[in-house]
């Protein structure tokens, strides 16, 4: 007999995630084919997919309220790992990985989930309208991992935290005045951020507006953008799986970081426009299910965590796909569930497991009401 919790299992979310992982494996197999690979990356991805499913199942089993008590412990563990990366030698000029033998792990992937849970735990019974102190401390909680990730440097991952944090703060009861203040603060921070960016990071932004035209030689980031759009075009409408390769020259399909950052282009080349529609439609199902779970959850921590985790998926999809089609700068941000990589896949398994957990247990637990709107007079009397 099914329990009430398992009866509420969000099957559309689970099914969409499974199909996306399968499409990612199909894209990685195509990368191996174009690069005359041995199939090693595909085999590794399948192993990581199994591990991600195991992690997701473990995260979904106990009540998320019990797991929520460990939110700050997970947060500080992730922060410690972000500090630890500075004691490891850099890879391609960046310190983003922890290496133990042949295994490597990217702590920033775990930090994204940990920061969402810790922020949800912090905000669950602290009304933002009570005073600026709660908001300032919330920004400090979010800002610590952002600063550490910026120093790696990894601008793309660090920027993901900003819209996710904003969505969580709005869900927690951010007032109109606080919204305007945060937006102005963000606008004022742009010049400061630009000054602090390295020449390589700036070139990724400027290359977006200086893309090489037909017949021109593309170099650096412009070359990646040119090749990405070329691989997209080579897929045609039906893709090479049904219509066959568009050209015989393997060099035309060359795309740096194809199996990770630019896997969306490879899926388009293989499956055509129907494949693109399928990928985006499946992500839309996950985002829709995530916000449905947040809406149905009456308990504050669960609702805030669901908003943050769902926003995390949505923001990464928008940035990665925008980068692939040349609308956003190249950031090195992977496509959730589809891109190659164990750290990202396992972290996304944890993320979806937590979403499923919340979706199965939308009950109410007595707490303060950070989501409840109060008039200005009621706020003044409360303070």
What's residue 383's pLDDT? 44
In this structure, what token pair is assigned to residue 140? 């400090």
**Where along the chain do its domains lie?**
8-382
The string of pLDDT tens digits covering residues 33-82 is 887 677 889 999 999 999 999 999 999 988 898 888 999 999 999 999 99
- Maximum average pLDDT range among 31-40, 146-155, 334-343: 334-343
The string of pLDDT tens digits covering residues 168-201 is 998 888 878 888 888 888 888 888 777 777 776 7
CA distance linking residue 355 with residue 292, whole number of Å? 11
Name the pLDDT band for 6 (thresholds 50, 70, 90). low
The string of pLDDT tens digits covering residues 298-327 is 889 999 999 999 999 999 999 999 989 888
Question: What percentage of the chain carries pLDDT values higher than 90?
Answer: 43
Give the 3-state secondary structure of residue 182: helix
Q: What is the 3-state secondary structure (H, E, C) of 217-263?
A: CCCCHHHHHHHHHHHHHHCCCCCHHHHCCCCCCHHHHCCCCCCCCCH
Q: Reply yes or no on whether the pLDDT at 351 is more than 90.
A: yes
Nearest residue to 313 via CA among 333, 296, 340, 298:
333
What's residue 291's pLDDT? 95
Give the 3-state secondary structure of residue 197: coil
- Find out whether 312 and 156 touch, Cβ atoms under 8 Å: no
What's residue 172's pLDDT? 86
Buried b (16+ CB within 10 A) or exposed e, 40-53: ebbeebeebbeebb
- Find out whether 316 and 382 touch, Cβ atoms under 8 Å: no
CA distance linking residue 159 with residue 169, whole number of Å? 16
pTM recorded for the entire structure? 0.88
**Residue 246: exposure state from Cβ atoms within 10 A (0-12, 13-18, ≥19):** middle
């Amino acid at each position: 007999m099914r329990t009430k919790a398992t009866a509420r299992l969000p099957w559309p979310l689970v099914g969409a995630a499974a199909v996306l992982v399968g499409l990612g494996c199909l894209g990685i197999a195509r990368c191996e084919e174009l690069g005359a690979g041995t199939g090693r990356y595909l085999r590794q991805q399948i192993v990581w997919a199994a591990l991600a499913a195991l992690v997701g199942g473990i995260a979904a089993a106990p009540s998320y309220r019990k797991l929520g008590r460990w939110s700050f412990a997970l947060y500080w563990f992730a922060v410690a790992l972000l500090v630890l990366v500075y004691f490891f030698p850099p890879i391609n000029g960046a310190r983003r990985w922890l290496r133990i033998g042949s295994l490597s792990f990217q702590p920033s992937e775990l930090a994204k989930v940990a920061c969402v849970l810790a922020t949800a735990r912090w905000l669950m019974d602290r009304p933002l309208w009570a005073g600026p102190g709660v908001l300032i401390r919330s920004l400090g909680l979010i800002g610590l991992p952002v600063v550490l990730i910026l120093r790696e440097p990894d601008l793309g991952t660090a920027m993901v935290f900003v819209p996710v944090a904003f969505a969580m703060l709005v869900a927690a009861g951010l007032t109109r005045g606080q919204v305007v203040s945060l937006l102005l603060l963000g606008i004022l921070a742009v010049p400061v951020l630009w000054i602090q960016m390295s020449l390589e990071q700036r070139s990724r932004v400027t290359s977006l507006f200086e893309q090489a035209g037909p017949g021109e030689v593309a170099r650096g980031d412009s070359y990646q953008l040119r090749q990405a759009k070329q691989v997209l075009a080579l897929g045609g409408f039906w893709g090479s799986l049904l219509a066959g390769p568009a050209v015989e020259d393997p060099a035309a399909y060359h795309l740096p970081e194809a199996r990770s950052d630019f896997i969306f282009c490879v899926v388009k080349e293989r499956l055509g426009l129907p494949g693109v529609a399928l990928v985006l439609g499946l992500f839309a199902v996950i985002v829709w299910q995530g916000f449905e779970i947040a809406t149905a959850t009456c308990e504050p921590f669960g609702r805030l965590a669901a908003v943050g985790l769902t926003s995390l998926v949505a923001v990464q999809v928008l940035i990665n796909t925008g980068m692939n089609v040349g609308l956003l700068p190249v950031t090195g941000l992977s496509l959730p569930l589809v891109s190659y990589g164990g750290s990202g896949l396992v972290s996304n398994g944890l993320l979806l497991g937590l979403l499923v957990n919340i979706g199965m247990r939308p009950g109410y637990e007595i707490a303060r009401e950070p989501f409840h709107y109060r008039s200005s007079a009621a706020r003044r009397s409360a303070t």
